[in-house]
Amino acid sequence: MRLTYTFLVIGFLTAAFTGCKDPKEETTPFDKEALLRNFADRIIVPSIERFQSDINALQTSFTAFETDRTAANLEEVRTKWKTAYLQWQAVKIFDFGPIRNRAFKASTGTYPTDTVKITSNITAGGYDLASINNIDAIGLPALDFLLYRNDAITYFAGDDPYTTYTKNVIQKMVTETQQIVSAWSSYRATFIASTGTETTSAFSGLVNEFNRDYELAKNAKLGIPIGKQSLGIQLSEYIEARYSGISLELLDNNIRYLDNLYKGNSFNSGLNGVGFDDYLKHLERSSLDGTIRGNFASIRSSIGAFNGTLEEEMNTNTTGLDALYTQMHGQVVSLKTDMTSAFGVLITYQDNDGD
């Protein structure tokens, strides 16, 4: 009887430990090169190229406005800016390789923008937009203030230094975006071949930045403004794109692009390709895949239910915002803990909210 019991225990433990595959012990290795090729060719490069097109269109519209500073032309500039900002939500996820090396994410998307510094730069002249001291006075968030502040048309009509500063901010993004497009054409082969799980690999960098970008969406776009890191005290001055009021649209686009990346969906066509979901299924983690998919869908549904700007919702619907934050917080465990563990990837970035 004791011998039989021993075999039963061994059999049970064997079944338990083989229920979840370790990526290092896969019988048939997952083709991570195919995954990275799909990400590079159908998602990353096309999204960067689209952003380049949008930024160039923004510059063209601003040039027309500079020649004829009418309200209608300013509105066209705003439309192009919004298109570029929404597209930026796809590009900023990939803060490794060329984007990290050139600090492109920081120079394009740092918020909240420092309006006092911007005003001081315009008044003083002689500013260096490449200086680290101006990192919060440039990029898309700076244009949110410059284009949408009260009586913006008046500032443009009567103040050439104001117009010049805006033009220089746009030109900086045009130049740097071109550099990123060129750099990725060289980096592509390195990215696709770097399939390991060591912290220096492209695959590890991708998984880390995917998670970090999600947490930034949760914390910076939502949690900090609604008071989750300030004992419930709302901090409206930390709202992204506060002047234009498109904060929730940016958040929705951010989550949409993260969801599409997770599924491996082509940026241009939307057709499904090899994604993180396929790797989880290969590792027999279909249940986790279902949880992640369901969470993304629920989060986007909750965002879509809001009718006002984030600042308006902060004044009238704190319950709804708290519920959204709770939903987003729950997804962190599935992505940052469960998925990365299944992939055998170590999280190397630091957050400051205990997740």
- Cα–Cα–Cα angle for 323, 145, 100, nearest 5°? 75
Q: What is the pLDDT of residue 28?
A: 83
Which pair of tokens denotes residue 10? 């061994």
Query: Domains plus CATH for the chain?
Result: 30-343 (1.20.1420.20)
Please tell me the predicted confidence (pLDDT) of residue 303.
Answer: 98
The DSSP call for residue 265 is B
Task: Kindly calculate the radius of gyration of the chain based on its CA atoms and give it in whole angstroms.
Answer: 23
pLDDT of the residue at 22? 55
The Cα 307–Cα 171 span in angstroms is 34
CA–CA separation, 5 and 1 (whole Å): 6
Tell me what pLDDT residue 7 has.
37
pLDDT tens by residue, the chain, 355 residues: 333 333 333 343 444 433 445 555 556 899 999 999 999 999 999 999 999 999 999 999 999 999 999 999 999 999 999 999 999 999 999 999 999 999 999 999 999 999 999 999 999 999 999 999 999 999 999 999 999 999 999 999 987 999 999 999 999 999 999 999 999 999 999 999 999 999 999 999 999 999 999 999 999 999 999 999 999 999 999 999 999 999 999 999 999 999 999 999 999 999 999 999 999 999 999 999 999 999 999 999 999 999 999 999 999 999 999 999 999 999 999 999 999 999 999 999 986 543 4
Which run of H or E residues covers position 327?
Answer: helix 318-332
**pTM of this prediction?**
0.91
Contacts of 156 (CB under 8 A, 6+ apart): 65, 69, 74, 162, 163, 166
What is the model's pLDDT at position 351?
67
